[in-house]
Chains A and B, each alone.
Chain A
């Protein structure tokens, strides 16, 4: 239990998707103009992460890893399909995003109206594929750790995009040098926020 909480805190604050690995920057920069839309996108990303990463974890442990196919028979102990992981992961993500979109549209039209426009964007968001690849690389032991990592990464991404959007809303009233306006100042702001987040490094529960 302690371990799971530790992974959660670590993936929210220390290994933050945006500030430590720059994943999902494209939509992070494009959608962070107002707080309202950025909250919507953040929730959608968290939602998709919590579904796709555990599914990819199951596929990785039972199909792709070296020796994972041993449940089919002894002859499969040497089979290593891990070179296929990129393609399988991206296909799973694209398919799940599509399914989530259809399910949400069917059962909760109000949620669909607020999240719907963001869902197709998410299929090619680096943060989603990145989380699956990190999951594969860091070799988590069980499902609980994987879910905690996925949820934590999503919350960290949400935190980053909402705080940037809030700062950008305030910044409309400040006098930024003309060539730095818009994109330039956003990069420098993100850099400063990342420095602030580095103060949390080394926290351990």
Chain B
């Protein structure tokens, strides 16, 4: 009896050894790489559509980043678990249905618990469906990889997208309205009394594009290999 027990233990041991640990270095890289040098927004230029429109204030940008992260990671997980059952020819429709279902859930939750933010984001919650990051990750990663890795990849890409949103909206809110998350930083510092004024242009849509252009400039001058050839 003891021998059989030991045998089963040994078996389990080898099984565990064969299995990769959940947070191995390779898996962690799936999360960190899209945040930094493989960023979906400023390197791969995906998902710009919504990235710019919601960045006037920090709060909607945070909510948007969170929603996209949830949708991309969960849809990656679902599609990856079904990947051997999806016929090749109708995969786009299947992907769209999964994404649309998740977006409807996110939209209903936002409407129930954060109605004012949901009003500010207006159509852009719905536009998560056509966000190129999600389709891109499903096509490029989830169809060929295991569910857990796909989930991590989704988390990483959502975080990379969120990071850009947060940087852009931080500058736009600070210089445009003089607040951070609604807290009046500039007034507390007393800058208005010495003649400082908010820059109204920062609130208007064109500045989002220009700030993103400058971010790309910064990233590419730090990382020369990204510079485009003529």
Instruction: Give A residues with C-beta under 8 Å from B.
Output: 19-26, 29-30, 83-87, 89-91, 94, 123-126, 128-130, 133-134, 137, 172, 177-188, 190-192, 194-195, 198
Contacts and interface: CB of A to CB of B under 8 A. Distances in A.
B126 A29 contact: no
Nearest to A26: B132
Contact of B53 (A22, A125, A190, A195): A22
Contacts of A22: 48-53, 205, 208-209
A163 to B, nearest CB: 15
A12 B141 CA distance: 38
Interface-centre pick from A26, A128, A134 (highest chain B CB count, 10 A): A26
Contacts of B115: none
A84 B104 contact: yes
A137 B206 contact: no
Chain B contact residues (Cβ within 8 angstroms of A): what range?
Answer: 35 or more
Contacts of A191: 206-210, 213
A45 to B, nearest CB: 13
A91 B207 contact: no
B227 A178 contact: yes
A-B complex: 6 closest residue pairs judged by Cβ atoms = A187-B213, A182-B228, A191-B209, A179-B220, A194-B206, A191-B210
Interface stretch (B18-26, B75-83, B90-98, B150-158): B90-98
Given A87-B97, A178-B227, A181-B228, A23 B213 contact: no
Contacts of B126: 85-86, 89, 129, 133
Nearest to B47: A26
B174 interface: no
Given A22-B52, A195-B206, A183 B228 contact: yes
B112 to A, nearest CB: 11
B144 interface: no
A26 B227 contact: no
Nearest to A197: B206
Contacts of B52: 22, 25
A25 B217 contact: no
A199 to B, nearest CB: 11
A124 B130 contact: yes
B210 A188 contact: yes
A173 to B, nearest CB: 10
A177 B101 CA distance: 44
Contacts of A187: 209-210, 212-213, 216
Interface-centre pick from A22, A90, A129, A195 (highest chain B CB count, 10 A): A22
